Amino acid sequence: MNIAEGSGRSSDTDYSRFVAYARASCNELEYQLLLARDLGYLETVEFAPLAKEISELRSMLTGSHRKLTRAHVG
């Protein structure tokens, strides 16, 4: 949702901010999954692939954010 909203913005600076929001949302989701696992709502076997996907997505968002930030600076 953050990326969709940011893509409609008028500048890379604005878009970059929304990519950073999306990355923060990954952190929130990761914590929620950890909490669900720790409280017994989610088995470790279910948690592991989801955590891996979140990590991969966060890496992609970090790369996008860096690229957008460099485009603005450079």
| Domain of 48, in residue numbers | 2-73
What is the pLDDT confidence band of residue 73, given thresholds at 50, 70 and 90?
A: low
Mean pLDDT of 61-70: 90
Who contacts 71 (Cβ-Cβ below 8 Å, separation ≥6)? 12
Output the pTM of the full model. 0.82
pLDDT of residue 56: 97
Question: What is the total count of domains within the chain?
Answer: 1
Helix axes of 44-73 and 12-38: crossing angle, nearest 10 degrees: 160
Cα→Cα distances 22→27, 44, 50, 65, 66, Å: 9, 25, 16, 10, 14
Per-residue model confidence as pLDDT tens digits over 6-42: 888 888 888 999 999 999 999 999 999 999 999 999 9
